[in-house]
Amino acid sequence: MDIIGLTAQDKTRFFSGVKALPIELKAKITSIAKSFKKLGEDDPRRLTHSFKVGLALSLVSLLYYAKPLYDGFGVAGMWAVLTVVVVFEFTVGGTVSKCLNRGFATFLAGGLGIGADYFASLFGKKGEPIVLGILVFLLAAAATFSRFFPRMKARYDYGLLIFILTFSMVAVSGYRVDELVLLAHRRLCTIILGGATCMLISIFICPVWAGEDLHKAVASNLEKLATYLEGFGGVYFPSCKDEGTGVNSKDGNGNSLFQGYKSILNSKNIEESLANFARWEPGHGRFRLRHPWKHYLEIGALARQCAYNIEFINACSDSDIQASEEFKSKIEGPCSRISAECGKALKALATSMKTMTDPSSAKPNVENSKAAMKDLKFALKAASTENADFLAIVPAATVGSVLVEIAKCVEKISEAVHELSERAHFSRTVEPTVSPEKPPQLLHRGVIRPASDVTNDVHKNVVITIHEISTVSPENETSGQHQVPKPGQV
Amino acid sequence: MDIIGLTAQDKTRFFSGVKALPIELKAKITSIAKSFKKLGEDDPRRLTHSFKVGLALSLVSLLYYAKPLYDGFGVAGMWAVLTVVVVFEFTVGGTVSKCLNRGFATFLAGGLGIGADYFASLFGKKGEPIVLGILVFLLAAAATFSRFFPRMKARYDYGLLIFILTFSMVAVSGYRVDELVLLAHRRLCTIILGGATCMLISIFICPVWAGEDLHKAVASNLEKLATYLEGFGGVYFPSCKDEGTGVNSKDGNGNSLFQGYKSILNSKNIEESLANFARWEPGHGRFRLRHPWKHYLEIGALARQCAYNIEFINACSDSDIQASEEFKSKIEGPCSRISAECGKALKALATSMKTMTDPSSAKPNVENSKAAMKDLKFALKAASTENADFLAIVPAATVGSVLVEIAKCVEKISEAVHELSERAHFSRTVEPTVSPEKPPQLLHRGVIRPASDVTNDVHKNVVITIHEISTVSPENETSGQHQVPKPGQV
């Protein structure tokens, strides 16, 4: 014990606590640094964007540092800095829309503000602040209210905000500042300067196009659905894993691939905001000025519809009712074919979107899935067993009808992508090369019809017709369209 | 023909054109005015909000009009106007979060900016702009990058924006302006003044609480699901419309009620932003400061899950396959009971949330729906017919299994609401009044078991047990909790 009453143990504890603190701090800093690194690795464009903002700010601050520029603009150069910070968005469309909104709103509100000031000055020195106050109140209330219009909110929300801002500032400061027109002129000039800097940097230095992001996002959503559907047959009907239907559930990190579709469920807002920004973008790469961006939203909505069905099928699969293996085996052929063909069709549609080529290669798959739907109907009609326990049949029957709904959805998606390809003038060049790795695919399509209506043993009297249809494999027909786009190409 | 070469006909056409223009214009103006009126009628708080913004702006512009105030702040009063316009949001939480973000970010960045200026001045007149430029570049890039963190984006996005803004402005203008500290001090004061005005007006004049909106939105989503489920049995199994199961599809404007659930599918973003704002709000009414807002998101997610199932059942119902009426009639009892009981349970849960009372009144309904699920299993086990056409059975079987999934979901929702009621300390007062309009409800719960396993005519050899269970109606047990809240109460 020393003078302040601490035992040796207390001291050890205290000092080890002091030592432990920096270690904890170090661990925290390391974890933050790691998450920073991950954030950058997930999408390197984020890093580029940050540097672009820094660059724009440094450029604009030249207005202050350079003597001739400062003499021209004075303290108003501050507005350029403000504009850059507020206006610079991640995508080109976002930046352009904010710049244009800000520019036009400032111009309009500045003019109106000067007019309001002149009008108020007619009422004498005493009446002026009252009239100005009423005008500011009315205009601000009206503009705020119109921000609630959904269409206004989607496109011109920022413009309305700046309109209120500029009008109030010009009208109010006009009461004290004499050189109002000069002030408004300088402000507009610096805002245009700041906005132009942002637009040029965001368009010409590693641009992030909202339109391209939308295009890729919708295509990748279709791919996620395809991954699930292609794997589904192999998981739900394990016996047909190695058949010729192309079902393969061992897609590397299997489980995470099956969860991919979940992100589609809540994709509406992202898609809508991207489509909204895309409209402001100039033509770029393979997208012209009037690209049918709105049409992507329709494809996105259909993909969501499909994802809802998959979400349901997923919830069903952990049901506590034991499905009848006998019944399952009867419908497994058509069912796994529906899901495999739907998956292939979606993959073909996604590839066609990514490469912006004719999506016709998905048509055979859609037709095959329709045929498989018919087969499923026949199989169900035929699959009457004596000892039918309906309880055991329900789970498999449900999966069958969900797959039918999914197939209908996929057909609609195919139609929508075809319409998009027409509106957006996807190229129709079909390269004649034949990919050698994949042999022409044989589709075993079996139709089972009962010979008599009700008999004691249906199985013996069934006429089984199996067509061996050698469909032209979509890979062969349009192999040139299926290549994965090169990194710089998309 | 007159001198300028116009026939009488031309003239008539011209003048009617001139007259027509104002009529079209008038029609357009009328339609705009009508949509304005509708916007205000849909949610009158929008109108109040607009007037509140106008009021806040008028108050703040006093800084300019009143001589003593202007002498104190000078042109910096402009920042108060800017703050009001940018910071005033529809909900209290939104306004408070933006005010606090703006205040703290300005304070922090102002301090750092002054420090950066001092640091740069050490490098002499030539080195100063270079050092400042590098500092602005680095800090802006780092802050922009950290805006990509999902957690930062959700809560402090605006603060980070203002941080970059203020730091750049202070650091840059420090190069030219001498009284930097005075400028920063004035700016901070006016921002605090503007922010305080906004907060006070938004809290004390007709406040719109984000938390209350979230609370109501989640409860009303449960109600929408309940409306669909209560009506479903009557629509899908028309024969049981007038049974004692309480199914009633004639809910006034029937069809639109059935579409109500669709808005739930995409409710995630709204709920998340409301929950985020709600955290910034002070305690108000029945919500204390640490109300479990996050828990509402869990209930919301479960409600969405339920809505996905309903979306699927809706898509199924326009199937082209004719369902077997015989099979349908066998499962219609349990099925319509499941949907009716689920609907009642959800309605009771929604009412309990709205009135913030104990949600136990939903428990009997949840138990009944579980019992109905068991009945459905028995019915399916028993419903073995000789002449089974599986194709005709599938649609009804699918509906049955979707209803089972929905019932499971409703059970989870009930558990989540119970947990919420515990965490948020819902009141447990049970008023002893018995509502006289509704007689105790009789639930016909029938269990059908086959006597022998497989026979030629199953119907004759079935033992049908019908229990007449007089469950204590939830309306009687806890009638005090079921009253619709008064307008001012919620």
User: pLDDT, tens digit, for every residue of B58-104?
Assistant: 888 877 777 766 676 667 778 888 899 999 999 999 999 999 999 99
Average pLDDT, chain B: 77
Separation between Cα atoms, residue A387 and residue A456, nearest integer Å: 11
| Confidence at residue B301, expressed as pLDDT on a 0 to 100 scale | 92
Residues of A in Cβ contact (< 8 Å) with B142: 50
Separation between Cα atoms, residue A439 and residue A473, nearest integer Å: 8
* Nearest Cβ partner for A85 among B54, B164, B305: B164
Cβ-Cβ contacts under 8 Å for B459 (sequence gap 6 or more): none
Helix (H, G, I), strand (E, B), or coil: what is residue B324?
Answer: coil
Separation between Cα atoms, residue A224 and residue B144, nearest integer Å: 31
Size of interface A-B (CB pairs under 8 A): 239
Instruction: Of A63-72, A353-362, B156-165, B168-177, give the lowest mean pLDDT range.
Output: A63-72
Q: Are A309 and A402 in contact (CB under 8 A)?
A: yes
Q: Tokens for A218?
A: 């919708």
A197 touches chain B (CB under 8 A): no
Q: Name the residue type at position B415.
A: E
Residue B337: pLDDT above 50? Answer: yes
| Confidence at residue B385, expressed as pLDDT on a 0 to 100 scale | 57
The domain made up of A210-423 is a member of CATH 3.20.20.70:
no
Helix (H, G, I), strand (E, B), or coil: what is residue B450?
Answer: strand
Q: Tokens for A246?
A: 């192309």
Length in residues, chain A: 490
Q: Tokens for A221?
A: 């959503």
The minimum CA-CA distance between B462 and chain A, rounded to whole Å, is 15
| Confidence at residue A297, expressed as pLDDT on a 0 to 100 scale | 92
Q: What is the pLDDT of residues A74-91, one digit of tens each?
A: 677 788 888 999 999 999
Average pLDDT, chain A: 77
- Res. A429 pLDDT band, cuts 50 70 90: low
Residue A3: pLDDT above 60? Answer: no
Residue A303: pLDDT above 90? Answer: yes
Residues of A in Cβ contact (< 8 Å) with B91: none
Q: Are B101 and B158 in contact (CB under 8 A)?
A: yes
Separation between Cα atoms, residue B169 and residue B132, nearest integer Å: 11
For B465, the enclosing helix (H) or strand (E) is strand B462-469
Which whole-number Å values give the CA distances from B341 to A14, A264, A486, in the listed order? 62, 31, 56
Cβ-Cβ contacts under 8 Å for A113 (sequence gap 6 or more): A166, A167, A168, A169, A170, A171, A174, A184
Contact flag A36-B145 (C-beta cutoff 8 Å): yes
Instruction: Of A58-67, A249-258, B259-268, give the lowest mean pLDDT range.
Output: A249-258
| Confidence at residue A13, expressed as pLDDT on a 0 to 100 scale | 59
B interface mutation test: which of A144, A272, A302 has the most B CBs within 10 A? Answer: A144
Mean pLDDT of B185-192: 85
Contact flag A75-B177 (C-beta cutoff 8 Å): yes
Looking up tokens 């965490």 gives B423
* Nearest Cβ partner for A266 among B161, B172, B268: B268
**What are the two backbone dihedrals, phi and then psi, of residue B446, each rounded to the nearest 5 degrees?**
-105, 135
A32 touches chain B (CB under 8 A): no
Separation between Cα atoms, residue B464 and residue B485, nearest integer Å: 44
Residue B392: pLDDT above 80? Answer: no
Contact flag A140-B391 (C-beta cutoff 8 Å): no
Counting Cα atoms < 13 Å in the Cβ hemisphere of A148 gives: 22
Residues of A in Cβ contact (< 8 Å) with B78: 169, 172-173
Residues of A in Cβ contact (< 8 Å) with B65: 129, 132-133, 175
What SS3 string covers chain A?
CCCCCCCHHHHHHHHHHHHHHHHHHHHHHHHHHHHHHHHHHHCCHHHHHHHHHHHHHHHHCHHHHCHHHHHHHHHHHHHHHHHHHHHCCCCHHHHHHHHHHHHHHHHHHHHHHHHHHHHHHCCHHHHHHHHHHHHHHHHHHHHHHHCCCHHHHHHHHHHHHHHHHHHHHHHHHCCCCCCHHHHHHHHHHHHHHHHHHHHHHHHHCCCCCHHHHHHHHHHHHHHHHHHHHHHHHHHHCHHHCCCCCCCCCCCCCHHHHHHCCHHHHCCHHHHHHHHHHHCCCCCECCECCCCCHHHHHHHHHHHHHHHHHHHHHHHHHCCCCCCCHHHHHHHHHHHHHHHHHHHHHHHHHHHHHHHCECHHHHHHHHHHHHHHHHHHHHHHHHCCCCCCCHHHHHHHHHHHHHHHHHHHHHHHHHHHHHHHHHHCCCECCCCCCCCCCCCCCCEEEEEEEECCCCCCCHHHHEEEEEEEECCCCHHHHCHHHHCCCCCCCC
Residues of A in Cβ contact (< 8 Å) with B324: none
Residue B157: pLDDT above 70? Answer: yes
Give whichever of A144-158, A349-363, B90-104 has the largest mean pLDDT.
Answer: B90-104
Chain A's closest residue to B79, CA to CA, is A169
Q: Which residue, among A420, A220, A408, A395, has the nearest Cα to A306 in the 3D structure?
A: A408
Residues of A in Cβ contact (< 8 Å) with B401: 316, 319, 394-395, 398
Contact flag B39-A161 (C-beta cutoff 8 Å): no
Contact flag B388-A389 (C-beta cutoff 8 Å): no
* Nearest Cβ partner for A395 among B149, B269, B401: B401
Residues of A in Cβ contact (< 8 Å) with B311: 305, 308
Instruction: Of A352-356, A451-455, B479-483, give the lowest mean pLDDT range.
Output: B479-483
Instruction: Of A173-182, A373-382, B43-52, B370-379, give the lowest mean pLDDT range.
Output: A173-182
Separation between Cα atoms, residue A315 and residue B407, nearest integer Å: 12
**Residues 129-168 in B contacting A (C-alpha not used; CB under 8 Å):** 129, 132-133, 136-138, 140-142, 144-146, 148-149, 161, 164-165, 168
Instruction: Of A139-143, A179-183, B264-268, B303-307, give the lowest mean pLDDT range.
Output: A179-183
B453 touches chain A (CB under 8 A): yes
A284 touches chain B (CB under 8 A): no
Residue B34: pLDDT above 70? Answer: yes
User: pLDDT exceeding 90 applies to what percent of chain B?
Assistant: 24
Any alpha helices (H) in B356-447, and if so which ranges?
363-382, 390-423
| Confidence at residue B163, expressed as pLDDT on a 0 to 100 scale | 92
Residue B5: pLDDT above 70? Answer: no
Separation between Cα atoms, residue B368 and residue B374, nearest integer Å: 10
Which whole-number Å values give the CA distances from B148 to A93, A108, A217, B94, B156, in the listed order? 18, 33, 19, 20, 11
CA A383 to chain centre: 43
Separation between Cα atoms, residue B456 and residue B458, nearest integer Å: 6
**What are the two backbone dihedrals, phi and then psi, of residue B419, each rounded to the nearest 5 degrees?**
-65, -40
Q: Return the exposure string of A389-417: e unless at least 16 CB atoms fall within 10 Å of the residue's CB, then b.
A: bbbbbbbbbbbbbbbbbbbbbbbebbebb
Separation between Cα atoms, residue A215 and residue A489, nearest integer Å: 13
Q: What is the pLDDT of residues A100-135, one digit of tens each?
A: 999 999 999 988 988 888 898 898 888 888 888 899
Q: Tokens for B86?
A: 């940018």
| Confidence at residue B252, expressed as pLDDT on a 0 to 100 scale | 42
pTM of the full structure: 0.77
Mean pLDDT of A444-449: 42
Contact flag B138-A54 (C-beta cutoff 8 Å): yes
Contact flag A312-B402 (C-beta cutoff 8 Å): yes
| Confidence at residue A190, expressed as pLDDT on a 0 to 100 scale | 86
Q: Are A227 and A260 in contact (CB under 8 A)?
A: yes
Q: Tokens for B425?
A: 């300390």
- Res. B261 pLDDT band, cuts 50 70 90: confident
A59 touches chain B (CB under 8 A): no
Instruction: Of A313-317, A351-355, A436-440, give the lowest mean pLDDT range.
Output: A436-440
Mean pLDDT of A275-294: 87
Chain B's closest residue to A75, CA to CA, is B173
Q: Tokens for B452?
A: 């022998």
- Res. A196 pLDDT band, cuts 50 70 90: very high
- Res. A322 pLDDT band, cuts 50 70 90: low
Contact flag A148-B175 (C-beta cutoff 8 Å): no
Separation between Cα atoms, residue A6 and residue A3, nearest integer Å: 8
| Confidence at residue B25, expressed as pLDDT on a 0 to 100 scale | 86
| Confidence at residue B176, expressed as pLDDT on a 0 to 100 scale | 65
Separation between Cα atoms, residue B254 and residue A430, nearest integer Å: 52
Separation between Cα atoms, residue A195 and residue A177, nearest integer Å: 26
Residue A444: pLDDT above 70? Answer: no
| Confidence at residue B70, expressed as pLDDT on a 0 to 100 scale | 67
What is the 8-class DSSP label of residue B209? -
Domain boundaries, chain B: 2-42, 47-204, 210-423, 438-490
Q: Which residue, among B370, B395, B358, B384, has the nearest Cα to B451 in the 3D structure?
A: B384
Q: Name the residue type at position A259.
A: Q
| Confidence at residue B12, expressed as pLDDT on a 0 to 100 scale | 60
* Nearest Cβ partner for B133 among A61, A86, A391: A61
Residue A7 vs residue B363, higher pLDDT: B363
Enter the ipTM: 0.75
Cβ-Cβ contacts under 8 Å for B17 (sequence gap 6 or more): none
**Residues 162-191 in A contacting B (C-alpha not used; CB under 8 Å):** 164-165, 168-169, 172-173, 175-177
Contact flag B384-A400 (C-beta cutoff 8 Å): no
Pairing of strands B462-469, A443-450: unpaired
Looking up tokens 């699959």 gives A383
- Res. B105 pLDDT band, cuts 50 70 90: very high
Q: What is the pLDDT of residues A393-402, one digit of tens each?
A: 778 888 888 8
| Confidence at residue B457, expressed as pLDDT on a 0 to 100 scale | 39
Looking up tokens 């702040």 gives B73
Which whole-number Å values give the CA distances from A73 to A69, A70, A78, A195, in the listed order? 6, 5, 9, 16
